[in-house]
Every structure is written in C-alpha cells, then in structure tokens.
Structure 1
Amino acid sequence: MSSEIFKTLSLVKAEKLNNNVVDYARELVQRESVTPADAGCQSWLEKKVKALGATVTRFKTQDVSNFIAVIDKGEGPNVAFCGHTDVVPAGDLSKWTFLPYSAHIENGVMYGRGIADMKGGIAAFIAAAELLVNDRTFEGKLWLFITSDEEGEAEHGSRAIVDYLKAQGVVLDYCIVGEPTAKQTIGDVVKIGRRGAISFDIDITGKAAHVAYPSHGINAIHLMSQVIGNLNEYHWDKGNEDCPGTSLQVTHFDSGDWTDNVIPSKASISLNIRYSYKYTEPRIKEMVEKAVSTVTEEYVIKSYRSCVPYFCEESSSADSLKDIVRKAIKEDFDIDCTFSTSGGTSDGRFFKEICSQIIEVGLPNKTIHQVNESVAVAQLERLSYLYFSIFNKLLSRERMNTSKENQHEVCV
C-alpha cells in the first residue's frame, strides 16, 4: 500500500501494521475451523487481546465456541467488533490451486478457506486494535465478539453472546461487523442493514382418484398452484437505493410418487421470503397462511430459518456511525462509499437487540464460499488501516467532546 494512505501514521508504524495483519491472517486461515469447530482460533485471539489488557470471557453452547473480550479505558462509548472464526467446508481439494488451509501467498494474493469470510477481517481488527491501544489514548470500552457458529444454523453463537450481554446489562453504542462487503476494493460498499429471511414448507392434502373421473378426486397440485398464484399476487415493497425490496421464491415442489392416470392426493412446496424492515415476521407468516387458507382447509405450514431484518438507525451527525464510517473511507481512500442492505443475512440481526447503530464493512466478497477463496494482501492492509481509523474516531476524546456539546445545545 502506498505510504500516502497512512495519513496519521509514521512509515515505521504503517509497515508494522501491514506485517501484522498478514501474519495474523495466515495464523487464522491455517486453522481448519469448519462450523462449529474453532480449531484453536479463539485461544490464539485470547492471547493477543489479553496482551492489550482485555478481560476475556469464553463459553460453549452445545458444540459452539463463543468469545467475549473487552478493553476497558473508563467512561466513554461501548464500541464493538463482531465476527466469526468458523468457515464453510473446502469441498473438492483437487480443485484448489493451493491447499485451502495453507494461507499461501502468490503474486500478492493470499489464498485460503475463510480468508475473505471472515478471518481476514478478524486479523485486520486485531492488528488495528494493537495499534490503537499502544499508539493512542482513548476513552470507553472496545469489545470483541467472536463465535464459531455463523456459517451454520447460528442458533448457539452470536445469539448466545447477545443473551449473555443482555443479562449483564451491556448496551452498545456502536457495532462494526467484519463481514466481507466490498465489491472491488475496501470501502466501496458498506452494509447498513440486512433484509430478514424466513423459509416455509407447505403441505396440501387432496384426494386421489382416476384421472378419467376428476369429479371423484381433489387434485393437490392444482390447489398448490392456486396457493403459488396467491403468493405471487402480493404487492411486496420495491425497496429503495439503500434497501432492496421484499421478494419470494418457491424453491421446491413435490407431489410424491406418481402415476400418469392417478390424480395426486398431496403436494408440497418450500419457499423463502427475503423481506425488508417494513415487514415483521408475524406479518409475513400471516400473509402466507392467508394465501393457503383461502384455497383449502387441508394444509400444514412449517416455518424455519428465521432471520429478522435490521437497519442502522439515524443519529446526530457527531454520533452517526454512518457518517463516521463514510468520512473515514473518504479521508483514507478518497472513495464515496455506497450504502447497501443487499446479500444474505448476518449476525448483525442479533446485535441489533443491544445496539441501534450497526454497520458491516470488510473485505471484497467475490470469492467467498468458493474454491480458491482469496484476498489481495493490499486489501488486508487497507482494511486494517480503515478499522484503525474508524475505531480511533469512535473512541476519540475530540468526537466525544463534540457530541457532549451538541447534547448541551439540545438541552438548552
């Protein structure tokens, strides 16, 4: 990375930051931590943050490893970084150019399962936190939350961490989720929320009969076709430039064993709905139920994989996480970032229960979950500096004084 980008650091400190983030990324990628395994990642993280004066809490829920650390510098905002050490399986090893857990670097690119999603992001945070603690004076609490259950069902990971924090009365002011969000380069796309998601299985029972005597039977496929028609007739919201609208996709259709002269007595579909923050889960369930119940009384509906939406709330300019992140990206890289809520779900949906301002910013995502997952070393370096810049702004005395002055003006 060119030295001009490190506007607030000496060349010596910039070089150390670069070297550390690369070393830390390799350390994490070389651990085969397929969900829910952690493979020693969190033990390594514990050593790193304890050296910075952090208090660490670790616990297991089912087979999931969860990690909470806080560097307490007294009164000030609660600022957090959230991530996960688990990765998806590597798949067919013969298709990888380099072994998926080798963290091999070739022509300035690091290859490995999880480098983009999201061990590279964790490495960038640790390198940035070291520099922040050792180089700057800040006030407040810097938190780190890590789970080994983000790529799986996500039932015992960040969900359990948030429940633990709620029991302790912890409320966060700001939360950065280190998921890979960039399209081409660090800072070009920032997630300010995610749509909700929920899946359904719908079973309909009809009546079998000979196809030559249709009045004697009830065709379950015909009924299910009406259900699908009802669902497709809903006028979902179209969204806006920051948030895609709501969408429904039927993902499976089955009528069981069949014979070409028998009316099918059953039909089943599966569907997934991605919905904006304009809807609630109960409302979505109500709409699906209505689409079915107006067609038949013989049905069973099962919902699963519930993921609620979240959206970064607005705040005053001095306290706005969106403005602070936008400003850091502009100052550091001269990029006007795009805010988005596209993509799948993330663990941000859990932390919204204890934090109103959540943003996701991380590495390029074009190779995540793919063979030869990879990230340019320069992107790792840029992300580490961006994290340093963001957390430095969030925890700076100058910003907190500005915020207090604004609050005073409002009170007056």
Structure 2
Amino acid sequence: MTRTDPAELTAKLVQCASVTPVEGGALTLLQELLTDAGFSCWRVDRNGTPNLYARWGDKAHPQSFGFNGHTDVVPIGEESDWTKAPFGAEIVDGFMYGRGTTDMKSGVAAFAAAAIDFVRDTPPDGAIILAITGDEEGDATDGTTALLDWMDAEKEAMSVCLVGEPTCPDHMGQMMKIGRRGSLSAWFDVEGKQGHSAYPHRALNPLPAMVRLMDRLASHELDQGTSHFDASTLAVVTLDTGNPATNVIPAKTSACVNIRFNDDHTGASLSQWLRDQAATVDVEFGTKTSVKIKISGESFLTPPGPLSDLIAKAVEAETGNTPELSTTGGTSDARFVKSHCPVVEFGLVGKTMHAVDERVEVAQIHQLKSIYTRILADYFA
C-alpha cells in the first residue's frame, strides 16, 4: 500500500504562499488529500479567514482524537536576505528550506500523513479529527475559535487534542507543552499641558508621570512562579513622545507594556492592577491617563495525566528521550482548545521558526509522523 510521505506533503504545503491571512492553496490541497482518504471535510471560513475541519469516523462516537494546527505563515521579510527561495521547499544537506517548514506546515503534514495511513491500515473504533486554521499567525479571531464555534453548533467534539506546534528547543523529543502563559498588552496615553521648557511651571509635563508609571510597573514583582509556571514577566516595549523640539514640553506621551502571566493571575486582575497604577500616578502628578488593554489569552494548564503520559510514552519510544513537561514560550491556539477538551502540544525543533532561511531537518518530519502514528495506535488500543 502506498504510504503518505510527510516530507513530500510538507514541500507541497510550503510551496503554497499562505502568508496570513491568505490561504494560498494549502487548505485546498489538504482537503483534497483527506477527502480521497475517506475523511469528511468542511471549510469553516469566517470573515474571510480560511479554516478546514476533517473527520474520519462517526461524530457521535464518544472516543475521538483531535489534531490542531495551522497552515498560515508569517511574512518572509526581505527576500534578498534568504539564501533559498522562501516558498521553494528546496532540500540541501538534509534540510528543507522555506517559510513554514518549521512553523508549522511540517507538523500539519506529519499529523495528516499519520492520520491517513492509520485509518487505512487499522481503522479505529472511534473518530479522528483534524482542525486546521489559516489564522494562527494573525489576529486569531476567526481561526481555531471559528472552528470550535462551528463544532459546538454542529455537535462535533474532540475527546482530547494534540496541537502540532514546534515544542522542542534543541533536539527531538526534548519538550512538550502542557500549558501556556497568558498574554496581554496595555497601551497608556498620559496627557498633560504643552508649554515652553523655560517655563515648566506654566505647563504640565506628562513625561515624568509616564516615567514614574513605567518604573512602578517594570520594577514590581508580579509573583515568584507557581508549581508549573515560571514567574510572570512585564516588559516595557515602547515609549513614544514624538517631540522634535528641545524647547517645548509636550502635551502627551504614550507607552506600551506586554505581560506574560502564569496561573496566579487572570487577564481581568492584571487589567485592574494596571489601571490602579495609572490612577495612582495621575493623583501624584495631576495628569490624565487613558489605558487600553488587549488580552490575547489566559494562562492554562492541562494537569499531568493520561494525555501527557500517552504522548510522552510515544515520544520516548520513537526518540529515546523523555520530554520535559513545560509551560514556557509564547501563546498558541491551544489557549482556545483548552476550553473544549484536554490539550497538549508536541512538535518539532523550533530553532528557525519565523527566521530568515527557516528550515527543518527532513528526517525529523518522518520521525514526527512516526510519533503521531504511535500516539494514535496507543490511544485507540
């Protein structure tokens, strides 16, 4: 029987220039492949964002294993900086080059290939679901969230889910993610009164207030970490006044901070803390500060248990490495899936994701397919 080559599929996906939110033919390719393999497929596009839902087996079956991933990629930057064509999928010295080779078309190709061959070889008593979005690298408002909303309306469900994002820092099998920190960004606009710098008493300089506010935020210890999470962090990422004149006190200045937070906090509790800090500084300086906050995701944890044990066992069997259970890194679509079912992330080495000359070791794509195949076999055993 012909096997599904995950590296060949990765190359075909990379050659689809699916820079978010452009579909680029990637989901169309996957839909055709999965349909031919006996999967029922639906396009779940919303507000122009492309998404694909595929299921093999009965949706009413109480046992279903889900994979989640994305085919959209970040922009390539300056093409002249690349030594290989960004969408060429060229293989050199055992590495495939191209945008999305690591993040995460190889992961999608590996779980699609594993699922296709598994249902052909040993049709399971249960369902296998692939929920693939074209909106993970963008705003993520109409991607996996749209798929989950559609699943809820259609009574589709995953019992558990594996997100195929790159999770290993240096070598295969090194790390899996059982949770993620939350993320929020906050923008501050401090208003004072413009005036001549020689007569500061006639003006209200917003800059000292902003500097005091940023110092209060940046020097505050949010926590010392929890049992599964490192300490939360706050970074001042920009401070802008745009004042070219040295003899003018500006009327307004702006700044932004980003917080990555653990399960000691919620987006709401941190938002209130930020607003309280701004109000305190306003009282001290007589300024007026407006605060705008965007919560990208709450922290979450899938406690170590059957799902993480299942994946760790398969990873160890195929790589010889026992993966560390981690909650490090940025956000992923697992932050949405966690409200639907238990979710864990495991994928390739992510050293070159989003980088110029992004690349993946071809052998690792085949190894990842083997890991995913073993996970399916053990789950449905």
* TM class, shorter-length: over 0.9
Matches within 5 A, 1:149-168: 149-168=135-154
Matches within 5 A, 1:128-207: 128-207=114-193
Specify the alignment match of 2:6 in structure 1. Answer: 21
Q: How much has 1:305 moved relative to structure 2?
A: 5.5
Aligned length: 376
Q: How much has 1:386 moved relative to structure 2?
A: 0.4
Is the contact between residue 21 and residue 127 of structure 1 (CA under 8 Å) also seen in structure 2?
Answer: yes
* Aligned-pair Cα RMSD in Å: 1.9
Give the 3 Å change call, closer, same or farther, for CA 241–381 of structure 1 in structure 2. farther
Q: How much has 1:207 moved relative to structure 2?
A: 2.1
Is the contact between residue 247 and residue 273 of structure 1 (CA under 8 Å) also seen in structure 2?
Answer: yes
Q: How much has 1:84 moved relative to structure 2?
A: 0.7
Q: Which runs of 5+ in 2 are unaligned?
A: none
Q: How much has 1:169 moved relative to structure 2?
A: 3.5
Deviations 1:127-183 (A, max 9, x none): 111221122242221110111111111111111111111223444321111111112
Which amino acid counterpart does residue 161 of structure 2 have in structure 1? C
- Does 2:254 align with 1:299? no
Deviations 1:295-330 (A, max 9, x none): 116111111252222221344xxxx11111111112
Specify the alignment match of 1:89 in structure 2. Answer: 75
- Does 2:329 align with 1:339? no
Deviations 1:344-403 (A, max 9, x none): 111111111211x2111111111111111111111011100001011221222xxxxxxx
Is the contact between residue 46 and residue 142 of structure 2 (CA under 8 Å) also seen in structure 1?
Answer: yes
Q: Which moved more, 1:87-96 or 1:24-33?
A: 87-96
Q: How much has 1:284 moved relative to structure 2?
A: 1.0
Query: What CA distance in whole angstroms lies between the structure 2 residues aligned with 1:192 and 1:252?
Result: 31
Q: Which runs of 5+ in 1 are unaligned?
A: 1-12, 397-412
Helix, strand or coil at the partner of 2:260: strand
Matches within 5 A, 1:5-404: 20-72=5-57, 75-240=61-226, 242-296=228-282, 298-304=288-294, 306-315=296-305, 320-355=306-341, 357-396=342-381
Q: How much has 1:27 moved relative to structure 2?
A: 1.2
Query: What CA distance in whole angstroms lies between the structure 1 residues aligned with 2:270 and 2:357?
Result: 38
Is the contact between residue 196 and residue 310 of structure 1 (CA under 8 Å) also seen in structure 2?
Answer: yes
Which amino acid counterpart does residue 41 of structure 1 have in structure 2? A
Taking only the aligned residue pairs, the percentage that are identical comes to 35
Which amino acid counterpart does residue 339 of structure 1 have in structure 2? L
Helix, strand or coil at the partner of 1:382: helix
Q: Which moved more, 1:130-139 or 1:172-181?
A: 130-139
Is the contact between residue 246 and residue 275 of structure 1 (CA under 8 Å) also seen in structure 2?
Answer: yes
Helix, strand or coil at the partner of 1:70: strand
Which amino acid counterpart does residue 43 of structure 1 have in structure 2? T
Query: What CA distance in whole angstroms lies between the structure 2 residues aligned with 1:238 and 1:140?
Result: 43
Is the contact between residue 219 and residue 265 of structure 1 (CA under 8 Å) also seen in structure 2?
Answer: yes
Helix, strand or coil at the partner of 2:131: strand
Query: What CA distance in whole angstroms lies between the structure 2 residues aligned with 1:314 and 1:171?
Result: 22
Query: What CA distance in whole angstroms lies between the structure 1 residues aligned with 2:102 and 2:335?
Result: 20
Helix, strand or coil at the partner of 1:294: helix
Which amino acid counterpart does residue 44 of structure 1 have in structure 2? L
Is the contact between residue 51 and residue 143 of structure 2 (CA under 8 Å) also seen in structure 1?
Answer: yes
Helix, strand or coil at the partner of 2:55: strand
Is the contact between residue 55 and residue 71 of structure 1 (CA under 8 Å) also seen in structure 2?
Answer: yes
Is the contact between residue 158 and residue 347 of structure 1 (CA under 8 Å) also seen in structure 2?
Answer: yes
Helix, strand or coil at the partner of 2:104: helix
Deviations 1:258-315 (A, max 9, x none): 5323333222111111111221111010010011001116111111252222221344
Q: How much has 1:52 moved relative to structure 2?
A: 2.7
Query: What CA distance in whole angstroms lies between the structure 1 residues aligned with 2:302 and 2:126?
Result: 21
Is the contact between residue 129 and residue 158 of structure 2 (CA under 8 Å) also seen in structure 1?
Answer: no
Helix, strand or coil at the partner of 1:48: helix
